Structure 1
Amino acid sequence: MQQALAVALLVLVALSLPVRADRHDLVEMVTGEDARGWEAVGRLDLGGRGFCTGALIAPDLVLTAAHCLYDRDSGTRIDPTDIEFKAGMRGGRALAYRNVRRAVAPDAYTFTGAGSGAASPDDVALLELAQPIRSARIMPFETLDSIATGAQVGVVSYAHDRAEAPSLQETCDVLGEENGLLVMGCDVDYGSSGSPVFSFEDGVARIVSVISAKAEMEGRSVAIGVALAGPLPDLRARMAQGTGAFGGLSSGQVRVIGAGQRTETGARFVRP
C-alpha cells in the first residue's frame, strides 16, 4: 500500500488539466429535494477567471483550496473582493449570493501554476464573506480533523461539465494518507477544486478534507485532498485575528515527473 501511495503522489496533476476520472455513483442534484442538506455547498465565481467549489463552515466562512485564489494563467493573486460565493446554486440560481471580503491561506503555501506537477498539504483557504449567511435552509458544516484509511467518504462538487448544479458522489474510499495529503478513489475534474470531502460517521455529514488535485495510481484516476488537522486551526485563528499572508514553499510539497515521462516503477504522468 505504501508503494502504491508513493506512486500516486509521483503522478499528481492539477485539477485545471482536463483528465477524465472514472465516474460512478455520481448524481447531479437538479431539484431541491436532491440538494436537501447540501445547500451550504456553493460555487465560487473567481472574478471572471473560472470557478471553484466551496462550503460554509460558519455563517461567514467558506472553506476551499488555496490555489483557487490565483489566476491559473498569470499566477497573480485574485482580489478576494472579486470572488462571489453562490450557496446552493442550481440551474444558474443560488439560494444566497455573497461577495468575499477577505481570504487567508497558510504562510507555507505558494501557487506554482496550473499543471505544475505539485500538490501541497497547505492547499487550503478560508474566505470571509462580506455578510454572513443566516438561513434555516443553509446550515454550515462541521469539520473533522482526520479520517481513517479505508473509510468511505463523499464529495459534493461543481465541475466544468456540471457547472450549473452540484453533483454528489456519496461512495468513494480513502486509499491512504501521506504528508498531509489524502488519496481517495473519488470522481473530480476541473472546477472541483476546493470541493468538500465528507465523512458520514454517525449519519452526520462533516467535512474532513478539500479537493486539491487529481492523480493516476496504477492506471486508476484518484483524487488528492488536503488533511485539515494541520492547516485549518491556524487559519481559523488568523481569520479571527484579522491577519493573513502567503509565504514560501511548504517543506511537505510534493513534486512530480514531466508530462509523458515514466518513473522507474512505470507510473505514467496523467496527460492533459
Structure 2
Amino acid sequence: MRCAVQNPPRWVSTSGDVDRPNAARLYDYYLGGAHNFAVDREYAERSMRHVPAAAMVQHSRAFLRRAVRECVSRGIRQFLDLGSGIPTAGNVHEVAQQVDPTCRVVYVDHDPTTVAHSRAMLRGNAGAAIAEADIRDVAAVLGAPEVRGMLDLAEPVAVLMVAILPFVPDEDDPAGVVAGYRDALADGSVLVVSHLTCDVQPSVVEELIGVAEGTVMPMVARSKAALEVMLDGWELLEPGLVLATRWRGEDELETGAEAVAYGAVCVKRPTT
C-alpha cells in the first residue's frame, strides 16, 4: 500500500511526488525536522536498523554549522550551498544570519520537488533563495537568476559542498567540478567540503553504501588522498583535511558515525 498525504502543508509542491521517499526529506527527518512524511519516516527507520544514518547526518550538520560560523568570522557574507536539499534545522541562512543579518544565502538543488518545498519555506526571507540546477554544471549554477540576483561573484563567496560530492561519480570528474567553482570565484572565496570515506570505518560505510544501492542516489566513498587531489589550488585552514567531527569540534572517539567523513575549509588565494 502506498502512503498518500491528505491536505499537505503549504510547503508541499502540488506537482511533487509525496508518496515515495525523498532524499531531502529523509535528511530533514534525520535532523529532527518537520518537512517529511510517513513514507520518509518509515524508510529512515528501516535504514537505521542497518546504519547509524541519523547520527551521521547530525555530525555532518554540526560540521556545517562550525564551518559557516568560521566563514562569517572571516568576513564572508555570501554563501552558495550546493546540493543543499531542504533548508531544514540548523540551515546555512539561519546560522549565518544569527551572526550577521546581512548575510545572503543561495541554496542549489536539482530536484524540482525539493526546490518547490524550499521556495515556500524561504518565502519572507529576503536574504535567502534556492536555485534549481545541477551542481556539476558550474555555468548553469552561477548563471541561475537567484545566484545572479543575490550574490556578487566579484566579491568572495563561501561555496559549500557538504556531503554532496559522494553523489558525483568518478565519470563526472568531481575534481573538475570543484576546480570549476574555484576558477570562477574571486580571490578570498572559501570552500567548505565534507566527503564520505572508508578510510577509518570501512564496514559502517560499506553498509551505508549498500543501503543506498538501488536508489536514485547511489554514493561513492573516497580516500583522503583522492580528496587532496580535489582540493588542489585551495589553501586549507587549520586543522586541514581531517575527520569532519575533528574539524574544530570535539575530540570525539573515532568509531561508528563519528568517523565516516572528512571535512575541510579552504581559501582561494591569489595565483602568482
TM-score when scaled to structure 1? 0.28
> Which protein has the bigger strand share?
1
More helix per residue: 1 or 2? 2
Question: In terms of Rg, which structure is larger?
Answer: 2
> Looking at both structures, which has the greater relative contact order when contacts are Cα pairs under 8 Å and sequence separation is at least 6?
1
State the TM-score, normalized to the length of structure 2.
0.28
